[in-house]
Amino acid sequence: MKAKAMVVTEPGHMEMREFDVRKPAPEEILVRTTVTSVCSTDIKVFKGLTPVGRYPLIMGHEISGEVVEVGAEAARWYDLKPGERITVEPYIPCGRCDHSRSDHLYHQCPHGGIYGISLPCDAPPHLFGGYGEYFYVLPGTIVHKLGDRMADSAASLSSVVANGVRWVKTLGKVTFGESVVISGPGSQGLSSLASALHAGANPVVVLGLSRDTARLELAREFGAHHVVDVEKEDPCEAVARLLPGGADIVIETSGTPDGIQAALGMVRPAGRIVSIGLSGGLETPIRFDDLVWKSISIITGLGQAGNVGDAMKLIDSGKYPFEKINNRIYRLEDLEQAIRDTEDRPEGFIKGAIMYGT
């Protein structure tokens, strides 16, 4: 059997290739890919702008799939059978270092790998990314089963939703009745919105740009109490109008210097800012006197380690239409277009996904 996959042969160049699909080794699992969501990180990996990218590479780390065959050793570790649907966490911890043995920092393990980013395809079994028709699950991978009613498209967002859980629960420590402002209505912001609402935050305000109409409409559908177009109203003034004392927590997902500065103005004294957006190396000047006088806590952090289990429960609850986040569907052959659209969003675009069998 053969499998097609899009391969980044070197930064900036991608081509379709075919690979032999062999039986999984005893410690492996063979999975047929169903949906891979396109992440903005894929843009950086494609362009060679990450320190961990390894080439030639099959990208794609937001994956859902159907189990085809389970190796004999893997069957002892995982309660999986052919036909069951799964999603995998991108990070593969080594299981031996201190980071690997921690609840929420195993994604900092320097010895493991990352699906679709740091596992090159130049050696058998080759298929370690979601932009291939099949992929192999390697030892140490953290696997989550899909609920019967969970859409594959929503499950492919498990790590994204887990990021939202992380920003709200693990880092932000949001509690019932606290006010939350979410700056940026992309998939990270929408996942944070669902997590904040699920935690009982009230009110929750979502900020976006004029071109974010579709995203802001989906934020309303998720249940946001207020949405604000920051090109029509100054964000600090809007938050002051809605929350006269300032927000208990601001979750800043854009990473832009303007967004971070605005977060400082929107948070209440002794409030918290969770800043997780990457700026691409831009410097953000901050007057630390302002932080001290207002007793503001700024919290940062990477990824979803330790939060995917909660994310799967949140998706499976059916309370939030996560499947609507992937609102642009592409064929594998159209991956380059999907990445271009992710970088330069066309009107109405929320997030793209490669869907197999369509």
The domains found in the chain, sorted by start residue, are 2-157+325-355 (3.90.180.10), 164-299 (3.40.50.720)
Mean confidence (pLDDT) of the chain? 95
At 272-325, the pLDDT tens digits run 999 987 776 778 888 888 899 999 999 998 888 889 999 999 999 999 999 999
> By percentage, how much of the chain surpasses pLDDT 70?
99
The interaxial angle of helices 187-198 and 158-165, nearest 10 deg, is 60
Using DSSP's 3-state secondary structure scheme, residue 31 falls into strand
Calpha distance 237→159 (Å, rounded): 33
Q: Is the pLDDT of residue 358 over 70?
A: no
pLDDT score, position 250: 98
Calpha distance 357→329 (Å, rounded): 12
User: CA distances (Å), 180 to each of 31, 51, 230, 325, in order?
Assistant: 39, 33, 16, 21
pLDDT band at 169 (very low <50, low <70, confident <90, very high): very high
At 118-163, the pLDDT tens digits run 999 999 999 999 999 999 999 999 999 999 999 999 999 999 999 9
Give the residue-averaged pLDDT of 83-108.
90
Q: Is the pLDDT of residue 173 over 90?
A: yes
CB 230 within 8 A of CB 259: no
Q: Is the pLDDT of residue 190 over 80?
A: yes
- Stated as kind and residue range, the H or E segment containing 268 is strand 267-275
- State the greatest distance between any 2 C-alpha atoms of the chain, in Å, as a whole number: 65
Torsion over CA of 46, 51, 55 and 61, rounded to 10 degrees? Answer: -60
Sheet strands side by side (includes 226-229): 226-229, 204-208, 180-183, 247-252, 267-275, 297-299
> How is residue 98 written in tokens?
């201190």
pLDDT score, position 305: 86
Give the residue-averaged pLDDT of 205-216.
96
pTM: 0.95
Calpha distance 104→122 (Å, rounded): 31
Give the residue-averaged pLDDT of 70-87.
97
Give the residue-averaged pLDDT of 195-214.
97
At 54-67, the pLDDT tens digits run 999 999 999 999 99
- Cis amide linkage into residue 24, ω under 30° from 0: no
Calpha distance 245→247 (Å, rounded): 7
pLDDT score, position 280: 67
CB 145 within 8 A of CB 316: no
Give the residue-averaged pLDDT of 19-42.
97
